[in-house]
Structure 1
């Protein structure tokens, strides 16, 4: 009998300890702990000590001579020598065609130097495998294109000029037919090798694209006059972008577009873009859901927003977006919307575990906006939007709305928490539809109400 009691006691203790251990292991990490874990995984590439000066290979910084042949030569040597730091000294260097990066290659555009690209579409042929608004296809080469390479960097205090204002920028009004064809091919799962665009079509190339790359650094440079999205991180990982300046006012001149990418640090950036400053994406519709490669572990901190929207998730996000941190950011000027999460029922996927902390905006149209019905279209694949934590968000003036959440009747936006939110003035304070479990802690929209007046 005594032995039986002892056995029961041991079993009970073991079960208790097991339960306690499991409970301890499942304890939720804080925002800071999650962010610090991600930061440990992001390590910029080492810049090669092998220096090659572009002018030694025939480049002339007179804004007239074609420096493309010189870049082709030096990139070949870089490949043969397993890496190099290609130095671009002061001057204006015209390139009649793209730069295709290789492993262990850095482009150091020094202060007073400018790379300016041809505005002739034929210079960016033959087509390359790329992506356009969330659909994989063959199109004109991005002006700087890194495909399946590792340890690459674009650094320096110089300028990269796409020279696209009076050329590619004008294609925006001609793109609709090809745009719709690309989406049709996506939905019908047309083999990618049959998705041939380029000549005869009007899909503008990205300016700088890292595609299936690892260990990326872009630092210090000024980016201007882009043909389409400025910097596209596509199916890439371990990315550091810092101290970049944007001066990009053409159509769809997003700043950074991480897509199907993970472990990304974007910090200390001066944005001035005609479109989204940062737009986090993860593929479009059927193709995005099929690929299923989540964009995740993205940290945005100490940036200054100016342009159309500050931080956007979507609208192409069908594989899902998670673990995004926006920390200690402010504004350099007007933004139409501050924080903008957008999807529609064509997308599917999810947006979850989004942390907004200590972010300040000045004048906006809408301060914080979530919609599951972007452009009022789509059906069959609602997006799951949940677990968004907004802490210390301040805005001086919202011409339209302070806080907006538009869920979908069959898939409500849920589990959103607002803490220490202050919006000084706005037309509409709150507009919430199809939402569930929205929590407010210390939220003031408009003038704070003080001690109530008493009867006289």
Structure 2
């Protein structure tokens, strides 16, 4: 065990005691405190998706759902979609929880809502769109979108419909049952628009699907759904390379880009072949991304989902197979991101499967701050950096209040330096990384060649990584744990299946308890 000072140790133990007391109080009060809510953007004329908090200490709980008093389903997840509802009708959902080996189910919350009124369907075929890969349908599909009245649905039916940039609006649904295929011609994504990429506001090509305009002080599109069970396939690397050749690497559009939007749901789709990032939302609020298959193998900067200076994100039931970060939580870069100061807050990532990619990431552009992130009930394959929090000393801002629980991962990393995307002037202060909880995590398949846990703060003594707990972590045999530039870090029940503890390497750190 590393040596420590008495005063700092006492402060740390008091902090841990507070967390334990808070968790115990939360568990006792939880029935009736489930925070049952409608996932943003998911309430339609015939369906709704609901979310709730997991019961602490309940093990593999079973949740029972009833609709207007009639039992409908059970699930072990913390989300459920009700379908085949009647339009413009009031409903009440009752939720009960049956903890693992804990007897009868208990009431866990009630939620009342009313479905939307039935809206008109605007089939793009009626506006001249052709199921023909030789035809670019941008004008026809945009005409259907422009004609769509509030509460209506623009339908892309079975077949393949090629298009350039499309601009969605408030109070509509884009339902893709076939394939929306992005053109590979950069001119089909003009005019250039004000956007943000890699932390800076700049002009880029438009994306295949666009909503809103960049506005730091308000929302420009609301109540939007993109769904349908089909596929959105962009112009891929060929389009990205052509955009780069014309206007530079940072000029590329995305596959789906939300600018200053609120109450948006993107669901039940396969999304693939972006020119760079796949789903990117900036200065937005109440965004749901769920039941998506995101595939970007071979794409340069092929991130899956990037919440950027946005609040209240719900990402669940998604599968990622990406050429870069599966999820990258961002908030701007260096002086500009620090000055704008729009943090990303309240990100909930649950029940996702991360097959391949660079990581489940926070950063590296996090200069506006990131806080209150939950990663829960997720499974990750051989990601390059596993679950990672990353930045550089030049970023400024903070990452705090991150909880990772009940997951199967292969690596946990906290990096204070990256060897890319670090151009430009520094922010006026060094970032702060603090208050992270890693609990009930299976790291047993971690590679033996690298540390299973590798956590690093900043060299500045005032900006060490601090207040971090690891508890109930299953490691492989002969595992390594690296801690640099940190303080107040505690490891409890961190061991291999045989009971063997890992080899700890600790440098320039204090109050490290293991």
Q: TM-score, normalised by structure 1?
A: 0.80
Give the Å deviation of 1:116: 0.7
Q: Deviations over 1:205-240 (max 9, x none)?
A: 111111100100000100111101000011111111
What is the correspondence of 1:66-85 to structure 2 with a 5 Å cutoff?
66-78=136-148, 81-85=149-153
1:228 maps to what in 2?
276
Q: Distance in 1 between matches of 2:336 and 2:38?
A: 28
Determine if contact 2:390/2:415 at 8 Å carries over to the other structure: yes
Inter-partner Cα distance in structure 1 for 2:309 and 2:364? 13
Number of the residue aligned with 1:94: 162
How far, CA to CA, are the matches of 1:314 and 1:213 in structure 2? Answer: 21
Larger radius of gyration: 1
Counterpart selection for 1:282 from 305, 314, 331 = 331
Post-superposition shift, 1:392? Answer: 0.9
Question: In the alignment, which of 201, 205, 222 is matched to residue 248 of structure 2?
Answer: 201
User: Aligned residue for 2:362?
Assistant: 313
1:291 to partner: Cα distance: 1.1
Cα distance in 2 for residues equivalent to 1:31 and 1:342: 30
Pairing partner for 1:368 from 412, 426, 431: 412
Cα shift readout 1:256-278 (whole Å, capped 9, x = no counterpart) = 00001111110000111011111
Distance 1:101 1:307, change over 3 A: same
Deviation at 1:380, TM superposition (A): 5.4
Given the alignment of the two structures, is residue 344 of structure 1 paired with residue 388 of structure 2, yes or no? no
The alignment status of 1:108 with 2:158, answered yes or no, reads no
Q: Is 2:334–2:427's contact at 8 Å kept on the other side of the alignment?
A: no
Structure number having the greater helix percentage: 1
Q: 1:266 to 1:307 in 2, by over 3 A?
A: same
How many angstroms apart in 2 are the aligned matches of 1:50 and 1:444? 58
Which one of 275, 294, 298 corresponds to residue 343 of structure 2? 294
Instruction: Write out per-residue CA displacement over residues 5-25 of structure 1, whole angstroms, 9 at most, x where no aligned residue.
Output: xxxxxxxxxxxxxxxxxxx9x
Q: Determine the structure 2 residue equivalent to 1:357.
A: 405
Residue 262 (1) aligns with residue 311 (2): yes
Q: Kindly state the Cα deviation for residue 51 of structure 1 after the two structures are TM-superposed.
A: 1.1
Runs of 5+ in structure 2 lacking a partner? 1-17, 45-117, 213-219, 502-514
Q: Are the aligned partners of 2:192 and 2:203 in contact in 1 as well (CA < 8 Å)? A: yes
The question of whether the paired residues in 1 share the 8 Å contact of 2:363 and 2:391 is answered with: yes
Residue 166 of structure 1 and its aligned partner are, at CA, apart by 2.5
Q: Does 1:43 align with 2:40?
A: yes
Name the CA distance, whole Å, in 2 between partners of 1:313 and 1:37: 26
Q: Secondary structure, in 3 states, of the residue corresponding to 2:129?
A: coil
The one-character-per-residue Cα deviations of 1:159-213 (angstroms, maximum 9, x if unpaired) are 11112232314666x6xxxxxxxxxxxxxxxxxxxxxxxx543421111111100
Q: Which residue of 2 aligns with 1:405?
A: 455
Contact 1:429 1:445 in 2 (8 A): no
CA distance in structure 2 between the partners assigned to 1:301 and 1:208 by the alignment: 21
Contact 1:245–1:269 (Cα < 8 Å) also in 2? yes
**Hey, what's the Cα distance between the residues in 2 that align with 1:308 and 1:302?**
17
Equivalent in the alignment of 1:146: 211
Q: Secondary structure in 2 aligned to 1:385?
A: strand
Determine the C-alpha separation between the residues in 1 that align with 2:365 and 2:37: 28
Distance in 2 between residues matched to 1:37 and 1:318, nearest whole Å: 32
1:246 offset after TM fit, Å?
Answer: 1.1
- Deviation of residue 45 (structure 1)? 4.5
CA distance in 2, matches of 1:424, 1:329: 19
State which of 163, 166, 173 in structure 1 corresponds to 2:238.
166
* Distance in 1 between residues matched to 2:158 and 2:26, nearest whole Å: 44
Number of aligned residue pairs: give it: 388
Residues 1:136 and 2:201 are matched in the alignment: yes
C-alpha contact 2:306 2:328 (8 A) present in aligned 1 = yes
Displacement after TM superposition at 1:53 (Å): 1.1
Where 2:321 maps in the other structure, the secondary structure is coil
Aligned to 1:192: none
Q: Report the aligned-residue RMSD.
A: 2.4
SS of corresponding position for 2:275: coil
Alpha-carbon shift at residue 448 of structure 1 (Å): 2.3
Measured after TM superposition, the shift of residue 42 of structure 1 is 4.5
**1:323 aligned to 2:372?**
yes
Q: Among 121, 138, 143, which residue is 2:186 paired with?
A: 121
Q: 2-side partners of 1:436 and 1:420: how far apart? A: 20
Q: Which of 225, 231, 238 is the equivalent residue of 2:286?
A: 238
CA apart distance, 1:308: 2.1
Alpha-carbon shift at residue 309 of structure 1 (Å): 2.9
State the alpha-carbon separation in 2 of the partners of residues 425 and 289 from structure 1. Answer: 42
- Structure 1 residues 283 and 218: alpha-carbon distance in aligned structure 2, compared to 1, 3 A threshold: same
Alpha-carbon distance between aligned partners in 1 of 2:34 and 2:265, rounded to the nearest angstrom: 20
